[in-house]
Structure 1
Amino acid sequence: MQPVKNNHGRINLDPDKAEAGLAQLVLTVVELLRQIVERHAIRRVEGGTLTDEQIENLGVALMNLEDKMEELRNVFGLEAEDLNIDLGPLGNLL
């Protein structure tokens, strides 16, 4: 399955490729949320507010989420850069 980006890096909503376009959009939103959670976790670790066990559990959870994202990208034939949607004058999303 080919990525459904057009020449400008925007999502192509071609009705014949709707499933792939929807998968790309959903995975982009999930990746954005994953990055936000990861940044927040790093701030908490650096702030010293977590126990060693909490840090370990957080690290395992983030690694598992990253592995799942890679698995889902593979299922839909997407590369990590395919999730970095071009928002026009605002720049890239990720």
Structure 2
Amino acid sequence: MPLDNHPSGKINLDPDNAEHGLAQLVLTVVELLRQIVERHAIRRVEGGTLTDEQIENLGEALMNLEEKMEELKEVFGLDAEDLNIDLGPLGSLL
């Protein structure tokens, strides 16, 4: 059953569809954190502070998280655009 998506970049707070809005908000926060962790990991790899094993483990963990995010977006009928919420004068989140 398709869910109402809000391509306007706003979180859906419709009481009749609260689960979808909550999922959108939670996945947006998780995606933001994933991107921050990924950027930090890249800096550490480029800085040479990780062993080859740590680099391998980090890469695998990031790929698994990205895969899980894709699964969850599919379950809740969301796409990447739905997670890029509009923060008004601050611009888009992601």
Post-superposition shift, 1:12? 2.2
- RMSD, matched Cα: 1.1
Instruction: Provide the residue aligned with 2:44 in structure 1.
Output: 44
1:54 equivalent in alignment to 2:50: no
Determine if contact 2:11/2:85 at 8 Å carries over to the other structure.
Answer: yes
Residues 31-60 of structure 1: per-residue CA shift (max 9 Å, x gap): 000000000000000000001111011000
Post-superposition shift, 1:8? 3.4
Post-superposition shift, 1:4? 3.8
Q: Could you tell me how far apart the structure 1 residues matched to 2:62 and 2:12 are?
A: 30
**TM-score of the aligned structures, taking structure 2 as reference length:** 0.94
Q: How many residues are matched? A: 93
Determine if contact 2:9/2:81 at 8 Å carries over to the other structure.
Answer: no
Q: Could you tell me how far apart the structure 1 residues matched to 2:80 and 2:8 are?
A: 16
Task: List alignment gaps of at least 5 residues for structure 1.
Answer: none
Determine if contact 1:38/1:62 at 8 Å carries over to the other structure.
Answer: yes
Secondary structure of 1:86's aligned partner: coil
Instruction: Provide the residue aligned with 1:23 in structure 2.
Output: 23
Q: Percent identity?
A: 83
Q: Could you tell me how far apart the structure 1 residues matched to 2:68 and 2:12 are?
A: 24
